[in-house]
Structures are given as structure tokens and as C-alpha cells.
Amino acid sequence: MKSDSLGQLIMTGVPGKELDVETAKLFRKVQPGAFILFGRNIESAPQLRKLIDDLRDLSEVEPIITIDQEGGRVSRLRLIGNEPPNAQQLREKGDVDLIKRHGDITGRLLRLFGFNLDLCPVLDISFDDDADNSLRGRCYGKNVDEVVRNAGAFNAAMRKQGIASCGKHFPGYSAATIDAHEELPKIDRTRDQLDRNELAVFRALLRKIDSMMVCHGWYPVFEPKKTPASLSRRVVTDLLRKEIHFEGLIMTDDLDMGAIVNEYSIEETIRLAIEAGNDVAMICHRVSEIETAHRAMEKLPRPQLDRALSSVARFKRNLAPPHKFSEDAFRKIDNEIWELRVAVLGEKRAKERSAEDGKRSPVEMY
């Protein structure tokens, strides 16, 4: 195994709307296995497709190219088109066929731009729709059965269009009372509570989800010492891999969030993330640090690296190529998003963003 292949274990953000010379040089050197795009990368439909084509062209191995395209305020592509309804609005409408339609449209939209993974569906249960924990409007249900039915319908329809899915936020972020973008939340759930609620959702859908994102929450039931789940071997390996038997790709949530950067150096973060059993370390905003992350990986035990590299390679074997792009095709799909929005919200509400959609937290700021 050449050390250069270790870049396959890094998911990186991209600084701007096009690849500048220095960023392109950095990416060619590190060869990240995955790229995640944000609002800062999106100006127009042709520009976005060119950026994704450029990222693919400089990659020696077909890259994972992903985005958060959930619906509502967590819809990066609303910057250049219509905003899909969010998970809460869809669940409150009570029509699973509309959720399937949302998944189908999302899959076709992402394939058109060249994405191959969507960081959704959210599998958290909404214990409180008004909780200030970054999940507002993003949950498909208020109980296990509702989340499994609704998120499962979206997931199946999107995957049918060739876009891989990511269940988040394992092992269940719903009981958090603060936002991990700011600091590490302590989630005081008993094992019985988790088994009957949060973990029941993940168990029900684990064979139908391609990847899993582990959140930055501290669960004392698993880790007596203050430790994010994303950096915990007891959570990632013992619980998710060995007990629940998830066989897909495992990634951390963004390692640039306050819950992590307030506590750990980049070198320590990477070591703990891979030791915990993650396959991909996500660095969304400190793009220049991916070279430091790559060097940190070179110091890790070979068996840990080989395990993660095998998982990434296995995931990539199933990636679907992009559809041929045209602005007409984009406009057609964008019109379908508008029609879905009207079907869910009614024409009057569809024309104005609700107060909750207008609120921005760090998860939407970039």
C-alpha cells in the first residue's frame, strides 16, 4: 500500500466556486477520497457541474462527491433553484408517496450535477420539534415506526436513482440540548432508552443504508470519560460494527465543529477517529489541514489503515457515474421540486419560506 493512498480516508471541503491553482495542487498531492460541497461552492448550475467535473478529473481514483441535500433549510442546491419541503413538513402532510417523490427527485437532481452520495436521510427521532440542537425541521418522525417508514421511503427512492445514502446521526442525536457545532453535547440516555428508540431506527434500516455518519455527542452510557461518539471505539467499532453489524462505510461528522476543535488537535483527532473504527475523516472547512491529516495517518498502525481503505474501496465499487448535464434538464427537475413544494405546503406557503426555514445555524452557514 503506497502512503499516497491514505488520502482515500479523507473527505475534504472545497474553498470556493472554482479550483484555484494552490487548491488543485493540494488535492493532486493528497488525493482525497471524498469531497463535500457547501453553499460557498455554488453559483450557478453550469458552474457547479464544472467544479465537480474538475474534482473528478484531478482524482486518480473515482472520488466520493457529496452534499447535504435533505430538504428545507438544509438544501444546498436551493441557492440555484427551488427549496424542497423539509422532513417535518413531509411527515406532517402524512402522504408517503410525496416522500417517495422527494427521494426520486433528489436522486435525479444530484446525478445531474455529478454527486454520488447524499448525506441523508436523517434518522433521528424528534422528541421535541422546537429543540435547539440543529435538528429543527429535519426529522422524519416522532417515534420509531414513523421515522423508519418515512426515512425509509425517501432512502429507497433516492437510491433507486443511483445516489448512495448516509444515515445520520448515529447513535442518535435527538436528545441533545445543545448544538455540536458550538460545543460537545452530553446526551444522558440509558441503554434501554437507546435500544427502544434511537438504535431501533438504525437497526431497522441498516441493511438499506450505504453509509453511516457518527455524531459528536458524548454518551456516558458508552463512555464514562467525556468522549465524542465519533472518536469512541466503543461506539463506532463495538456498537455499530460488531453489535449492530453495520457493513457499510462509516464516517465522522465534520471534524471542524466546535465539539471537536475545542478539545483536540488535528493530529489527535485523526488518530482517534481511525482508531475508533471510522473509515473516512471529514474535514469540511480547514481545507489546508488535509495535508496535516494525511501525515498523521502515515503514523497509524497498518491494520487500522488497511481496514478503512478496504471499506472505502468496497463502497466505491458501487458508485454511479453522473448523468449528462444540460440546463434544460436542471430546469425540468427544478420545476418538479416546485410542484412538490406546492403539493406539500399549498401554493401560498410554498411562495414564502417559513420562519423556521429562515433560521440559520452553523450547519447551513457555509
The enclosing domain of 200 has a CATH number of 3.20.20.300
**Residue at 365 is within a domain:** no
Q: Please, are residues 106 and 76 in contact by the beta-carbon 8 Å criterion?
A: no
Per-residue pLDDT, 164: 98
Spatial neighbors of 159 by CB under 8 A, at least 6 apart, are: 107, 165, 208, 210
Spatial neighbors of 98 by CB under 8 A, at least 6 apart, are: 90, 340, 343, 344
Per-residue pLDDT, 351: 87
Domain count, the chain: 1
User: In which domain, by residue range, is 240 found?
Assistant: 7-351
**pLDDT, tens digit, for every residue of 142-170?**
999 999 999 999 999 999 999 999 999 99
**Residue at 366 is within a domain:** no
**Rounded-to-integer distance, Cα 256 and Cα 258, Å:** 7
Per-residue pLDDT, 354: 47
Nearest partner of 152 among 121, 187, 198, 118, judged by Cα: 121
Per-residue pLDDT, 3: 38
User: Buried (b) or exposed (e) across 316-354, using 16+ Cβ within 10 A?
Assistant: beebbebbebeeeebeebbebbbebbbbbbeeeebeeee
**Residue at 98 is within a domain:** yes
Per-residue pLDDT, 179: 87
| pTM for the model | 0.95
Pairing, β 74-75 against β 69-71:
antiparallel
Per-residue pLDDT, 353: 65
Per-residue pLDDT, 355: 43
**Residue at 360 is within a domain:** no
Per-residue pLDDT, 26: 98
10 SS3 class: strand
**Residue at 94 is within a domain:** yes
**Residue at 1 is within a domain:** no
**pLDDT beneath 70: ranges in the chain:** 1-4, 353-366
**Residue at 111 is within a domain:** yes
**Residue at 30 is within a domain:** yes
